[in-house]
Structure 1
Amino acid sequence: MDTDILTMQQEIEVLQVKLAYQEDTIEQLNKIVTSQQRQLRELEKLSDNIVDKLKSLQSQESSINDGVELPPHY
């Protein structure tokens, strides 16, 4: 009977240690995911800014070329 209780206590301790490691791992992963989400938002903003600038450059270029007539080629 005493060996059964001792065995159970040891198994419970092993489970508690595993749980502690799992909690630590989950916390580390959560920090990584949070950091990556922040980076993703920043990259999305940067990408949106680049697209906006490209669109404005294209519209400026087309308005500049509107008044220019190319000479005929012989």
Structure 2
Amino acid sequence: MSNNSEHMQQAIETLEVKLAYQEDTIEQLNQIVTAQQRQIQQLEKLTSSMLDKLKNLQSQENQINDGVELPPHY
């Protein structure tokens, strides 16, 4: 029975080591996902801002073009 007990103790220690590594890996992945989510949010804000500026520029360009008359030969 001593051999069986030692085997069980070794199996438990092996599982504890694996669990510790898994917990560490999960924490690292959580930090990466959190950082990526922040980056995605920043990129979404930047994209929205750029889209607003582009629309504004297009609107200004249309207003400028409305005031310019082409010569009759065009």
Query: How does the TM-score come out when normalised to structure 2?
Result: 0.95
Instruction: State the number of aligned residues.
Output: 74
Query: 2:19 corresponds to which residue?
Result: 19
Runs of 4+ in 1 over 6 A off after TM superposition: none
Is 1:36 matched up with 2:31?
no
Paired-residue identity, %: 70
Query: How does the TM-score come out when normalised to structure 1?
Result: 0.95
**Runs of 5+ in structure 1 lacking a partner?**
none
The one-letter code of the counterpart of 2:15 is: L
User: Superposition RMSD on alpha carbons, in Å?
Assistant: 1.0
Is 1:71 matched up with 2:71?
yes
